[in-house]
Amino acid sequence: MTPHHPDSAGRAGRYRQQPTGYRAFLPAPLPPDPPIRLEGQLQVLLSQTDRALGRLDGSVQALPNPELFVFMYVRKEAVLSSQIEGAQSSLQDLLAAEADLFGDTARPNDVHEVVNYVRAMKHGLARLEDLPVSIRLIREIHECLLEGARGSHLTPGETRRTQNWIGPAGCGLTDANFIPPPPDDVPEALGQLERFLHEADDLPTVIKVGMAHAQFETIHPFLDGNGRVGRLLITFLLTESGLLGKPVLYLSHYFKRRRAEYYERLQAVRDEGDWESWLAFFLQGVIEVSAEATETARRILEMRERHRFQITDELGRVAGNGHKALESLFDRPIVSVEDIRKVTGTTYPAANNLVARMSDLGILTEITGYSRNRRFHYAPYVRLFLDEDWKSGS
């Protein structure tokens, strides 16, 4: 691991005794002083990160419709990021909720949180067109995230007015692992973070993003949802900077896989000023996740071509409608016969026949077991986004 700066005491901030006895952490403004040492292992990782991001960007741009790939990744990130916070819903649950498969009764309780995450992500990406990454945008995202979900009573869109803390379930201020700044210090800390994001400097963008994520998690400005907002911040900053043409890099998979180290590295920044080790960990995540997403993009392209060939080869006169149906599945992987009828503009019996033939080819799979109101799943596509590390209940 990269050795951190020898003069690191108080480099990330300091603990301050509060009137009631606990010690809260006040983060120092970014960039750190002494500055980050971009040498040795960090320099090597930075070079590898640039190459990995370039390969990912090229792979995504080569897809016939990159937006559909992006949306599936947003869904995957929504599930993973929510699972880190204790949600149990899987990608299959989210897709089923979008297809209204549950009705009003059997829907898993926490799938609403995942649906909100997708909404928050889409809202943030749309807002980036006319609003920079800022406290205002962060508050909007937070409001989207908590609306009507667990934690919605905890002032969505508003920074906290009471002290919070981080630690095992049931712990209090006296035995917490970490206590963020008191509420009166939060506005200034967020203001300093915003100034850092828009300051002209010679720091590599991905280094600034890594520092911004750690600083946001240290400030912990909300009563709930800080982890999810902080992970969204990574994607928004990478997209806003132009480092990625499409928002397809999501680190929740990496953070979940190495959760203990993630928390240890963040805490070492606060306690020891060890920014270098945190940044090495962060860059390693960007490299690994970029490689995974690049491979997924390649496999999607390969699978699409295989299914297009099957449709052309096997469906004869209705191959044209088969291709229309196939393309729609990249946007909505769970469909009804009525959905396919709308996409193809044919009669219901013709759409029903097309669905049956695509099922025979293994492209669609019936998932309800009903004789009416059936739903069909584009399983080969969804499977590309599933990973045994995080797949839950599917």
Q: Choose the weakest-confidence range: 146-155, 163-172, 200-209.
A: 146-155
Residues 108 and 80: beta-carbon distance below 8 Å: no
Task: Look up residue 305 and give its amino acid.
Answer: E
End-to-end CA distance of the chain: 37
Q: What span, in angstroms and rounded, lies between the C-alpha atoms of 294 and 248?
A: 10
Question: Torsions phi, psi of 23, nearest 5?
Answer: -110, 120
Q: Is the pTM of this model over 0.75?
A: yes
Which tokens in the block code for residue 266? 């963040």
125, 111, 112: which is closest to 71 by C-alpha? 125
- Domains of the chain by range and CATH? 13-295 (1.10.3290.10), 315-383 (1.10.10.10)
pLDDT band at 388 (very low <50, low <70, confident <90, very high): very low
Q: What span, in angstroms and rounded, lies between the C-alpha atoms of 103 and 233?
A: 33
Task: Look up residue 386 and give its amino acid.
Answer: L
Residues 87 and 225: beta-carbon distance below 8 Å: no
Residue 394: pLDDT above 50? no
Q: What is the pLDDT of residues 22-68, one digit of tens each?
A: 999 999 999 999 999 999 999 999 999 999 999 999 998 888 788 87
Q: Mean pLDDT over all residues of the chain?
A: 88
Q: What is the pLDDT of residues 311-327, one digit of tens each?
A: 999 999 999 999 999 99
Residues 117 and 81: beta-carbon distance below 8 Å: yes
Q: What span, in angstroms and rounded, lies between the C-alpha atoms of 230 and 233?
A: 5
Q: What span, in angstroms and rounded, lies between the C-alpha atoms of 4 and 152?
A: 40
